Every structure is written in structure tokens, then in C-alpha cells.
Chains A and B, each alone.
Chain A
């Protein structure tokens, strides 16, 4: 089967080249101070450090699993720093950089991967819904939430918008495509932020979509664009524009952040079974952190002391994540029965008391039980 679609090469919106040159973009002017760029650099470095520590903790048996964001830091930090406190984000399960920007403590993030919680934070408090594992489900939740904002009349400058995070694999799911359509027909204030990291576990992006992902938006009747997902400034500028557009009542946008999953799908995965290492080398040259550092260095906007202080802070955070993770307490057995229903439930109550009685029957019989 040959690819006969005559598509022109997709435009990639980029403000900062891999070499660290700030080129800007006519459609996405970005006024940004040196302080702000340094802050973004700090975010990128720190979140990569949290991530690498989590991978180590999984290797040490402290976490059951970890889904690394390595390579996707700019897409997440850039887009999430475009959000205001009034906005709401619906993540998939790899959005550790988004969580960082929404004020989630790393230990709250680790709880789910350690198996001590199924969530970990208060979504309302942080403007960040819980991680969603079943692929694409959250795109509909984001759309519905945006439809609520619309009905609240929370539009305009002080209004709210929603951002839905998902990956290239999720664009195959019915839920995601239904979300595009619902958002379009209701003109809902939602930004669909697709991190196209090129791989859905072992399947290359071409197995999910024959046309570039951002072009789907046109079929649903709203704008879509491809942004350099390794360019934190481009992700910030484009997402900010899309969110503003949404808040002003102009409806949804699909942002395809073109990036790369530099690590495995999760710690259970072995990418050497399905992709060539040369591909990784190619993307390493487009590293999201390196280009910001080059920009700061080349323009004399940060000195060695700044970079050293960020590195030191990263080390401290690594250590803090390690300590906090190991100290996360196991839940009590009877917590199994908590928060299943809002109203009292006779089945749950009966099973809880029977199980409590059962557990009590082992007391004094030794740690391994009575047998």
C-alpha cells in the first residue's frame, strides 16, 4: 500500500532553533524577559531531574512503574506555563511537567506509580484533573468541562479555558475524535494539546494517522497547527494564543506538539525491540533543554553561577523525591472500602466489617497469619 496523498510538508512553528537562536514567528509574537526564560530553563531541568529520579526509584523497586517524560519537557512546560489559575487541565499519564507547573508535589505524583493511591491530589485545588490511563477518555471530560465554563459565562479576559493533553496514539480512539466534534459543534473553550512523541509503545506514528495529526482539526471545523514540541517558547506562545482564543469565545484549537519520547514507553518497555538508536541520536540534537541553555549562554542572559545553582537545586530535588518516595506510607487494608459511594452502602458496610473481623482473627497469631 503506497502513500498517494499529496500533502505539502507541514509547517513547524518554531521560535527557538536547536542551536539556541531566537527567530521568533510572525503569527506568534512572544514578549518574554530574560527572567522568564531562566524560569522556564529551571522548570525544564528540575522536571527532568524528578523524572530521572523516578526511573531510578522504579529500578530500585520503590515504584511499581514509571512513565518517563524524557524529551517532552518543553511541550509540557511551555503549554502549562500558558495556563492561568482559572484554567483547567486534563492530563493523560505522562504529564509530570504539567503537574509540576500546576503545583503538584513530586511525592503526590509518585503515589500512583508506587501503588499507594489511585490519584493523589485535589483536582479542583490545582486545576489539574487526575491522570487518566484509559487512552483518550479525558478529551471528552475536558470538552464537557469547557461546555460548563461556556454555560457559566466565564468568557473574556478573566474567563477560563480548558486544555486536554493526550498523545499521538490517542488520536486513534473514538473518544478523542468525538471530543473534537463535540467541542467544535458547541464552540467549547478547549485546547487539544497532542504531544506527538512519534511512538505509541511500539507503533510508529504512521500506524495511527496517515495525515499529519494537526490537519484533522480542519475536518472538524477548527484551527490546528504543528508546533516544535521541543521548543518551550513556541509551545508557550502557541498554547497561550489558543487559550486566549478559547477564552474569547472563539472555540477549540488542536495543537500538535511535534516531539519525541526519548525513553521507553514505561519502565516495563524495551524500545530496542522496535526502533533504531540512530533515531534517538537525531532527536538528541534537538534536545529541549540544550537549546534554551544555548540561547541564555549565547546572549549573555545567564552565567555559570546560574546554571550551577539550577543544577544544585535539581540535586536537592532528586534527593527530596527519593526520601519522600520511600517514606510514603502504605494504605491501611480497610481503606479498600473507602470512597466507593457517597451514600452509605449496605454491601460495602457488611464486607468491611466482615473483613475487619477476618483480619482481627489473625491478631496474636504471628505476622504471617494463623496457618
Chain B
């Protein structure tokens, strides 16, 4: 069974499927109930599952994550929504000192199967703190799984896989792509859906590998389309932690070049670690250094400058050109 869904509706359908599958699944956050979330991702869930399973929480992110940890310790599977990326930060203590370490410090006796959904990234003309890409903080933290999505199919299955994971998952939703539509096959059995732990070759190619994730997949595919001089292979990373290195390494060994792009800042960004690992594993196959096309090492600027700040089609193509200049 397929239906045409936006990314936002696909996450909603995935949440609904998970809640129907397992009565322990709960949704918590600011405005997720009657309003259905500021992006309407939880639309209708409050009506259909009730206030005990779809909780409009007080306005306190640390409180949301902290109480969700407690509910998970009691056997629930909370899916919490942080309203915007920039509002995650009050919850850093609960996430980094408690959530990420609970399994290890309890010698495996405690499981915290909690999902933190965060609309992230820029490009929507927003005021401050509504356009951040904080993924590197999460990927730098042992104990967390970090996933992101780039299309409705992955949104639908990805959220369900995140919820079924016994590990805490940071689930990053590219807010500027929420309303992109595509066919979703909702008829597949859960166990037959492609694992979100695997990177996906979004477009096969032979001359260079273009690695992206989340909101940048669309831009990367546009770049591959626009570059008529080269055949670019686009890889959608999907899981930022852990990273599916075999898929990346296989691709780079074939193409000899890797261009990485993300909205997060350059220094210490997810691309830096991948560049280091690819250099180790593909050294004798590389025709050029790994090139990174990212946001600059500055705070996210006022929205009238974001088109310059975010890597766009031209900057990605410029990065590809730089790779071929060697």
C-alpha cells in the first residue's frame, strides 16, 4: 500500500503506527497535544490516543527529557519533541550526563529507549535559535544514536525504527523539507523495511562521491543533476551515529573523490570525522583531499544572510570543482 505523503505527514503516520503497535509508546512535548505541534507533526494523535499518551508538557526542555527518562525507566517508550533545534540546549544536562550514560553505568541493567525528535536546520527565514544544526554535539556523545531523514519513506520507517531501538535516539527532522512530498510504501512489514542504520545510495555515479544527509540531500541531488561534466554518486548518510563506513568506503574507493556537505559548522562537524576515517581507509584510492562544504564557523546569522551562510547548489558545485582540480 502506498500513499503520497509529506515528510511531516509521514512522521505523523509513523508515530501513529508505533503507538498502535505498542501501547507503551508515548508522545511528549510543548504544544504536541491539541495543537498537534508547531509543525503539526503530532496532528490528531491527542484526539485519537488521549492526553495520557500525548502529553502537553510544561515549557521546560530539561523537564521534558528528564521526565521522559523516568518514564522510560518505568517501561514506557517516550517520543519527545523539542520544538526547535535552538531550544534543545536547556536539555543538555539530562541528555548528556544521564540519558547517554544510563546503560553503561548500570552495567546494562537499565535501558532508556527514548527518542528525542528535533526539527533542525535553517532556510526558513526564522528568528534566532530556530535554524541550528546541532548534530555534532550528539555525534560526539557516546551512548546516543543519531538519525536524520531526507524523504517521506525514511521518515515513516525511520521514526518507527528509532522508537523500537533499545538505545536513545536523537531523531533530526529537516524542517525546511517537512512539506516535500513523495510516495511512501506503508504496506511493507516493519522487519522488511530497510534499516536506517545503513547509508543509502541516493544516486549512483562513478566520478566522485557526494555525501550528505537531511536537508542537504535535495541540494546534493540537484548538484549531481547540474554537473553535466561528472557523474556524481550521492550518498544519503541517514545514520550520523553510528556511521555506515562500509558503504562510504566502497563508494570512495570506486570514485576516488569525496565531497561532504552539511549545514552544521565546519570545525568539529560530522564531516570532519568522516573525512579523517575515509582518509585512513581509502588513502591509496583518493585522487584529491576530502572536500567539505559546510556552514561557516560563526553563529547562525540573521535570516537575511542565511542564503549565503548555508551551503547551496553553487557552493556544493564549487566544492566538486575543487575536488576535480587535483
Interface residues of A (CB under 8 A from B): 64-65, 93, 112-118, 133-135, 169-170, 172-175, 200-203, 207-209, 268-269, 273-274, 330-331, 333, 335-337, 340, 347-348, 351, 355, 358, 361-362, 369-371
Q: Which of B86, B89, B90, B305 contacts A331 (CB 8 A)?
A: B305
Q: Which of A112, A209, A268 contacts B38 (CB 8 A)?
A: A268
B317 on the interface (CB 8 Å rule)? yes
B305–A336 CB distance below 8 A: yes
B314–A370 CB distance below 8 A: yes
Q: Which chain B residues lie closer than 8 Å to A113 at the CB level?
A: 127
B267–A340 CB distance below 8 A: no
Identify 5 residue pairs between A and B in the complex whose beta-carbon atoms are under 8 Å apart, listed by A's number: A118-B302, A202-B56, A274-B35, A336-B309, A370-B314
Q: Which chain A residues lie closer than 8 Å to B266 at the CB level?
A: 351
Q: Which chain A residues lie closer than 8 Å to B309 at the CB level?
A: 336
B297–A348 CB distance below 8 A: yes
Q: Can you name the residue of chain B whose Cβ is closest to the Cβ of A174?
A: B62
| Mask: chain B, 296-320; 1 = CB below 8 Å from A; 0 = not | 1111011111101100011101100
Q: Which chain A residues lie closer than 8 Å to B289 at the CB level?
A: none
A273–B34 CB distance below 8 A: yes
Q: Which chain A residues lie closer than 8 Å to B296 at the CB level?
A: 336-337, 348, 351, 355
Q: Can you name the residue of chain A whose Cβ is closest to the Cβ of B43?
A: A273
B128 on the interface (CB 8 Å rule)? yes
B126 on the interface (CB 8 Å rule)? yes
Q: From residue A109, how far is it (CB to closest CB) to chain B in Å?
A: 12
| Mask: chain B, 39-69; 1 = CB below 8 Å from A; 0 = not | 0000000000000000011111011000000
Q: From residue B303, how far is it (CB to closest CB) to chain A in Å?
A: 3
Q: From residue A175, how far is it (CB to closest CB) to chain B in Å?
A: 7
Q: Which chain B residues lie closer than 8 Å to A114 at the CB level?
A: 304
| Mask: chain B, 124-166; 1 = CB below 8 Å from A; 0 = not | 0111110000000000000000000000000000000000000
Kindly state the separation between the CA atoms of A134 and B63 in the bound complex, as whole angstroms.
15
Q: From residue A165, how far is it (CB to closest CB) to chain B in Å?
A: 16
Interface residues of B (CB under 8 A from A): 30-31, 33-36, 38, 56-60, 62-63, 86-87, 89-90, 125-129, 226, 266-267, 296-299, 301-306, 308-309, 313-315, 317-318
A202–B298 CB distance below 8 A: no
Q: From residue A128, how far is it (CB to closest CB) to chain B in Å?
A: 17
B304–A331 CB distance below 8 A: yes
Kindly state the separation between the CA atoms of A9 and B325 in the bound complex, as whole angstroms.
76
B129–A337 CB distance below 8 A: no
A333–B308 CB distance below 8 A: yes
Q: Which chain A residues lie closer than 8 Å to B127 at the CB level?
A: 64-65, 93, 112-113, 115, 133
Q: Which of A133, A134, A268, A347 contacts B90 (CB 8 A)?
A: A134
* Centre residue among B31, B299, B309 by max chain A CB count within 10 A: B31
Given contacts A134-B89, A340-B299, A351-B297, contact A335 B305 (CB under 8 A): yes
Q: From residue B117, how far is it (CB to closest CB) to chain A in Å?
A: 17
Q: Can you name the residue of chain B whose Cβ is closest to the Cβ of A355?
A: B296
Q: From residue B109, how far is it (CB to closest CB) to chain A in Å?
A: 28
Q: Which chain A residues lie closer than 8 Å to B314 at the CB level?
A: 362, 369-371
Given contacts A201-B38, A202-B31, contact A347 B297 (CB under 8 A): yes
Q: Which chain A residues lie closer than 8 Å to B36 at the CB level?
A: 273
B58–A208 CB distance below 8 A: yes
Q: Can you name the residue of chain A whose Cβ is closest to the Cβ of B35?
A: A202
Kindly state the separation between the CA atoms of A209 and B243 in the bound complex, as whole angstroms.
43
B87–A134 CB distance below 8 A: yes
Kindly state the separation between the CA atoms of A370 and B62 in the bound complex, as whole angstroms.
47
Q: From residue B28, how far is it (CB to closest CB) to chain A in Å?
A: 12
Kindly state the separation between the CA atoms of A371 and B306 in the bound complex, as whole angstroms.
20
Given contacts A174-B63, A201-B38, contact A331 B302 (CB under 8 A): yes
Q: Can you name the residue of chain A whose Cβ is closest to the Cβ of B313?
A: A371
B59–A203 CB distance below 8 A: yes
A115–B60 CB distance below 8 A: no
A172–B60 CB distance below 8 A: yes
Q: Which chain B residues lie closer than 8 Å to A172 at the CB level?
A: 58-60, 63
B226–A274 CB distance below 8 A: no
Kindly state the separation between the CA atoms of A110 and B187 in the bound complex, as whole angstroms.
49
10 additional contacts (CB under 8 A) given A115-B125, A207-B57, A351-B297 = A64-B126, A118-B301, A172-B63, A173-B90, A202-B35, A207-B56, A331-B301, A331-B304, A351-B296, A362-B314
Kindly state the separation between the CA atoms of A269 and B297 in the bound complex, as whole angstroms.
32
Q: Which chain B residues lie closer than 8 Å to A203 at the CB level?
A: 30-31, 33, 56, 58-59
Q: Which of B60, B125, B317 contacts A173 (CB 8 A)?
A: B60
Q: From residue A93, how far is it (CB to closest CB) to chain B in Å?
A: 8
Q: Which chain B residues lie closer than 8 Å to A174 at the CB level?
A: 60, 62-63, 90
A348–B302 CB distance below 8 A: no
Q: From residue B85, how far is it (CB to closest CB) to chain A in Å?
A: 11
A337–B59 CB distance below 8 A: no
A115–B56 CB distance below 8 A: no
Q: Can you name the residue of chain A whose Cβ is closest to the Cβ of B267?
A: A347
Kindly state the separation between the CA atoms of A211 and B315 in the bound complex, as whole angstroms.
54
